A = this chain, B = another copy of it.
C-alpha cells in the first residue's frame, strides 16, 4: 500500500522502519520465544516446575502436590517433556520426573523477582 509510505514519512519513520524491523528477531525466533513463554504461562505447569525444583517426583505425587488429577498432570508433563523441560526415569509402575533445563530456573527466578519488585512499588 502506498498510503503507508505517506504515513511513515509523517511519523518521521521514513526508511528507519527497515532498521527497526531488523532489530526484531526473525519469525522463527519470535515463535520459539513465545512458545517458551507459553509453556510457562500456565499455573499448573508452573506449580509442577516449582515442585520438581526440590525433588524428583512421580506423576501421582506431582498430582497430589499441585492438587490435580494424574491425567491432567500427565497431559501437562507431556508438553514439558516435548519441550525438553523435564526428563523422566521409569521405575516399575512409576515414572519419576525431574527438571531437565537449568536455564528455565533462571528465567523463572528473574521473573519472580520482577513481580516481587512490582508488588513493592
Residues of A bordering B, CB below 8 Å: 4, 7-8, 11, 13, 16-17, 19-21, 23-25, 27, 29-38, 40-43, 46-47, 50-51, 53-55, 57-58, 60-61, 64-66, 84, 94, 101, 103-104, 106-108, 110-119
Q: A34-B43, A40-B41 are in contact. List 19 more A-B contacts (CB 8 A).
A: A4-B64, A7-B61, A17-B64, A19-B54, A23-B54, A24-B65, A29-B112, A32-B119, A33-B40, A33-B46, A34-B42, A34-B46, A36-B115, A37-B41, A103-B113, A104-B114, A106-B110, A107-B110, A107-B114
Q: Which residues of chain B come closer than 8 Å to A47, judged between CB atoms? A: 24, 30
Which chain B residue shows the least CB distance to A59? Answer: B11
